[in-house]
Amino acid sequence: MSFHRWGRERWALAALLLLAWVLRLPLIFDNHLHPDEALYGYWGLLIGSGRDPWLATATVYKPPLLPYLMAGIQALFGSAKHHSEFALRLPGLAASLLTIPLTAALTRALYRDWWTTAIVAVGMALSPFAIAFSATAFLDPLMVTLGLAACVAASRDRPRWAGLLAGLSFATKQTGLVWIPLAALLQIKSRKSQIRFSSVLLFIAHCSLVVLLVFAWDAARVAQGAASFWRVGVAGYGGLRLVWPHELGMRLRGWLDLARYLFTSPVINGALLMGLPVLLWRALMHRRYEREALMDLTFISFSLIYFLLHWLGAFPIWDRYLLPLMPILAVLLGRVFTDLVCDLKSIVVHCSLLICLVLLAFNAACNHYAIGGNQGVYDGVDRVAVFLSGLPEGSVVYHHWLGWHYQYYLFDAPVYLAYWPTPAWLARDVQVFGAREPRYITFPSWESSARVERALAGVGYGLNPVLTTTRRDGTPSFTTYHIQPLSEP
């Protein structure tokens, strides 16, 4: 390919990345933190502030890469000891943008077709699912980007980089393990690989090095009295097990309901569902497309196995767990539209695809889909945090639902956080210590304060509302109460 052709491709990719950035940036400021995002930010604050650089005192159930990355990002933005939602979400934004050229590079390396590459790049840039998760502090966007980068390196016969990147994907989240066999297979099938056995050994060695470093970090924590992140993570899922037969139907409906948001449009999802069996049939029957057929089989098998693992395994039905499928399905969508639709010589179909994706991407940028961030569920939590952080030193803040938010937002606040397990426990604590310090409690709108009010009334205390916040639609979100003796006005 000539220099000028490469120049046009690069300018087109730059324009596409700029459009993707414009679509993703507003979401950073639109949603407040999900509890998991707040927890990851809290781990970063523990590291960055020097209070617990090994996270030995925290109940950690994820590998270490993202907390340490967040500590560095927050230090860079001058928030190593304070909260900054913008800083927390920068890794997710950067990962989402990098996924676009990485998916395009993987497609180009494997299929050698410019038109397929263009469709895949556009599909990733305008995917509502990818846009929705780009402005989050979840682990998944970075895990996917690193795993995808490992596949790109493997497809270009760079086993050392492939192994390191696959290991770093696991160092971000345990689910990163799914990228290791895919990257290894791409390394084996690399055309440039002259000594495939040695290349695979290099891949395994470099991947194992990162994995060993992760478990060495975990061993250092355990030596200081912490629980292993792997054990805590497995326990958090209720143990790794197969689902019971009566769960199959409910779980399938749940996953399919989330999967429809991968491309959102019924037309695009329908084209993908109808096109994949055709691709599979062609791959099995037409050996003259040997390389392309093998890649189609690999990606279809990866998608099917990944979905079956999450359907048949007792994993929570959460939208972000489908994010690793997004770049793989984008590649398959590009294959469907070039290998099948182009047989019809229909440029109208491709233009219709582009228009449809642009409209869907705009809706995703406006936060119109129930995926990704919290979609307003936690609107007002920042105002609650500002109010509580301004309380007199030593004030007690009781929490039951917002503990992870408080740990992050009130990290350096002069208040004491106290978890209350039951209304009876809360009432006893207030009865014994209520005269010593001011005490506050916040209820989200989806929880009633009636049981707590009855328990407190039994010991001579009541709830006095001091702050009420609302969501973007005007409905109440949180109410903060000052716990005071009933005899006081």
Task: Give the pLDDT of residue 7.
Answer: 67
The C-alpha angle with vertex 41 and arms to 37 and 46, in degrees rounded to 5, equals: 150
How many angstroms separate the Cα of 219 from the Cα of each of 58, 71, 152, 235, 285?
Answer: 14, 21, 32, 18, 51
User: What is the average per-residue pLDDT within 118-128?
Assistant: 91
Residue located via tokens 């509580």: 388
User: What is the average per-residue pLDDT within 445-462?
Assistant: 94
Task: Give the pLDDT of residue 177.
Answer: 95
**Is 479 part of a structural domain of the chain?**
yes
Task: Give the pLDDT of residue 362.
Answer: 86
**Is 372 part of a structural domain of the chain?**
no
For the chain, percent of residues with pLDDT exceeding 90: 62
Residue located via tokens 């506050």: 440
Distance of alpha carbon 197 from alpha carbon 77, whole angstroms: 45
**Is the pLDDT at 314 greater than 50, yes or no?**
yes
Q: Give me the numbers of helices (H) and strands (E) for the chain, helices first please.
A: 20, 5
Task: Give the pLDDT of residue 11.
Answer: 78
Residues 333 and 225 in one domain: yes
For 147, the enclosing helix (H) or strand (E) is helix 140-155
pLDDT category of residue 368 using cuts at 50, 70 and 90: confident
45 touches 83 (CB < 8 A): yes
Residues 305 and 406 in one domain: no
Condensed to tens digits (0 to 9), the pLDDT of residues 152-174 reads 999 998 999 999 999 999 999 99
pLDDT category of residue 342 using cuts at 50, 70 and 90: low
Q: What are phi and psi of 411, to 5 degrees?
A: -55, -45
A 10 A CB-CB count for 243 gives 14
Distance of alpha carbon 380 from alpha carbon 471, whole angstroms: 7
**Is 374 part of a structural domain of the chain?**
no
Distance of alpha carbon 262 from alpha carbon 251, whole angstroms: 17
* Nearest alpha-carbon partner for 148 in 358, 361, 329: 329
Q: Domain boundary at 340, 365, 390, which?
A: 365
Residues 330 and 466 in one domain: no
The sign one gets for the Cα dihedral 86, 408, 62, 36 is: negative
User: What is the average per-residue pLDDT within 419-435?
Assistant: 94
**Is the pLDDT at 6 greater than 80, yes or no?**
no
Task: Give the pLDDT of residue 355.
Answer: 79
Task: Give the pLDDT of residue 81.
Answer: 56
**Is 375 part of a structural domain of the chain?**
no
pTM of the model: 0.91
Residues 359 and 428 in one domain: no
Residues 349 and 427 in one domain: no
Residues 137 and 34 in one domain: yes
Count Cα neighbours of 79 within 13 Å in the Cβ-side half-sphere.
17
Q: What is the mean pLDDT of the chain?
A: 88
196 touches 159 (CB < 8 A): no
Q: Domain boundary at 312, 339, 365, which?
A: 365
Residues 391 and 361 in one domain: no
Task: Give the pLDDT of residue 2.
Answer: 42
Task: Give the pLDDT of residue 288.
Answer: 55
Task: List, as one string, the DSSP characters of 178-191.
Answer: GHHHHHHHHHHT-T
Domain that holds residue 359: 3-365
Residues 134 and 274 in one domain: yes
Residues 422 and 358 in one domain: no
- Is residue 390 classed as helix, strand or coil in its secondary structure? coil
Task: Give the pLDDT of residue 84.
Answer: 79
Residues 357 and 388 in one domain: no
Condensed to tens digits (0 to 9), the pLDDT of residues 213-265 reads 999 999 999 999 999 999 998 887 766 788 899 999 999 999 999 998 888 88
Among 67-71, 304-308, 343-347, which stretch is predicted with the lowest mean pLDDT?
Answer: 343-347
**Is 18 part of a structural domain of the chain?**
yes
- Quote the number of domains for the chain: 2
Residues 315 and 417 in one domain: no
**Is the pLDDT at 97 greater than 80, yes or no?**
yes
Q: Domain boundary at 365, 396, 422, which?
A: 365
pLDDT category of residue 301 using cuts at 50, 70 and 90: very high
Q: Is 416 left (phi over 0), alpha (psi -120 to 50) or beta?
A: beta
Token pair in block for residue 181 = 């066999």
Residues 456 and 351 in one domain: no
pLDDT category of residue 143 using cuts at 50, 70 and 90: very high
**Is the pLDDT at 293 greater than 90, yes or no?**
no
**Is 424 part of a structural domain of the chain?**
yes
User: What is the average per-residue pLDDT within 328-334?
Assistant: 94
